[in-house]
């Protein structure tokens, strides 16, 4: 059977780098059809892939008469080596056209944000699948190799460039999106070949300064399906947030989520080679954007498969 959708624009990451905001901005364009679930993870996990193309296409209200691209944003597509097989699954759709958008962030701040996020979302795949052996989810428990790998941006990009070509990928950063969202969105729309369109970029998503952890009673109440359904159906978002905040405590009560200078130095040494490739091959101004002077790193280290823990 001929696929219903032939063109996919996919925000492939990086985790905690503004993918939610970017997805919501692009979803406003009339020629772009957003996925019902921002992060369907279709190409990431075998059990989702086995549901088939009809399942995946069913997540989009795609109309061939007006839509040019189906849009999704699964950051799991750039979580190698923990997640593999993504490119191979995409290649099993030979008639599909793919365009990729990869948004990055200061690599140290991204790692801190990921650790805060993972500490809060107790049922997230990061905890259940990828870092299940951790007991202390704060920086006091160390910095995992997985978290470092996700900030190796050139390493994550490599299989997409090899498989689809450099011209199929648009690169930007959270810092650029925050500084001039209108220009960045306009550039991405041009990259996708859709008509210029003024999107509303005033709303910022996932920007809480303090990740908070729910109290146990609140978690149990949300675990009751009927209560959760009523809670989400009848209470406005701002009221739900106030209730959640009143019944929660700061995640900082459970550990440390800001790196020490020694941790920062160790990770930058670990990332030096990757940042050099990002600068030289992909023309990302790591010093101008992130204040990282590559020439000042003391040692060039390559990532090893063993767990990395900064001192």
Structure confidence by residue, pLDDT tens digits, 155-189:
999 999 999 999 999 999 999 999 999 999 999 99
Query: Shortest CA distance to 118 belongs to which of 105, 102, 129, 104?
Result: 129
- Sign of the Cα pseudo-torsion (31, 168, 174, 214, in order): positive
Domain limits, the chain: 212-254
Who contacts 286 (Cβ-Cβ below 8 Å, separation ≥6)? 275, 278, 279, 292, 294
pLDDT single digits (tens) 205-256 = 665 545 555 555 556 665 676 766 776 677 776 787 677 667 666 656 668 9
Cβ–Cβ contacts within 10 Å for residue 293, how many? 10
Helix (H) or strand (E) holding 118: helix 107-120
- Percent with pLDDT over 70 in the chain: 81
According to the model, what pLDDT value does residue 35 have? 97
C-alpha distances out from residue 306 to 245, 268, 270, 291, Å = 38, 17, 13, 28
């Amino acid at each position: 059977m001929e696929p219903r959708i032939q063109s996919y624009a996919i925000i492939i990451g990086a985790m905690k780098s503004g993918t939610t905001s970017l997805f919501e901005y692009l979803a406003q364009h009339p020629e772009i059809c957003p996925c019902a679930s921002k992060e369907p993870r279709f190409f990431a996990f075998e059990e989702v892939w086995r549901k088939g193309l009809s399942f995946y296409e069913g997540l989009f209200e795609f109309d061939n008469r007006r839509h040019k691209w189906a849009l999704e944003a699964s950051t799991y597509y750039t979580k190698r080596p923990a997640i593999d097989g993504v490119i191979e699954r995409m290649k099993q759709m030979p008639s599909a056209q793919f365009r990729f958008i990869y948004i990055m962030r200061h690599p140290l701040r991204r790692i801190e944000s990921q650790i805060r996020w993972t500490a809060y979302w107790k049922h997230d795949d990061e905890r259940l699948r990828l870092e299940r052996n951790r007991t202390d989810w704060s920086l006091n428990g160390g910095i995992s190799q997985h978290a470092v790998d996700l900030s190796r941006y050139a390493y994550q990009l490599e299989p997409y460039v090899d498989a689809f070509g450099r011209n199929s990928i648009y690169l930007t950063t959270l810092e650029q999106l925050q500084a001039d969202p209108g220009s960045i969105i306009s550039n991405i729309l041009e990259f996708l070949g859709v008509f210029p369109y003024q999107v509303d970029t005033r709303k910022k998503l996932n920007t809480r300064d303090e990740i908070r952890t729910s109290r146990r009673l609140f978690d149990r109440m949300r675990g009751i399906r009927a209560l959760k359904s009523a809670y989400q159906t009848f209470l406005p978002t701002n009221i739900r947030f106030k209730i959640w905040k009143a019944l929660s405590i700061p995640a900082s009560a459970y550990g440390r989520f800001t790196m020490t200078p020694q941790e920062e130095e160790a990770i930058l040494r670990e990332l030096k080679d990757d940042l050099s490739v990002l600068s030289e091959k992909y023309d990302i101004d790591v010093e101008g954007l992130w204040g990282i002077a590559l020439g000042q790193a003391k040692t060039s280290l390559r990532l090893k498969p063993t767990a990395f823990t900064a001192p």
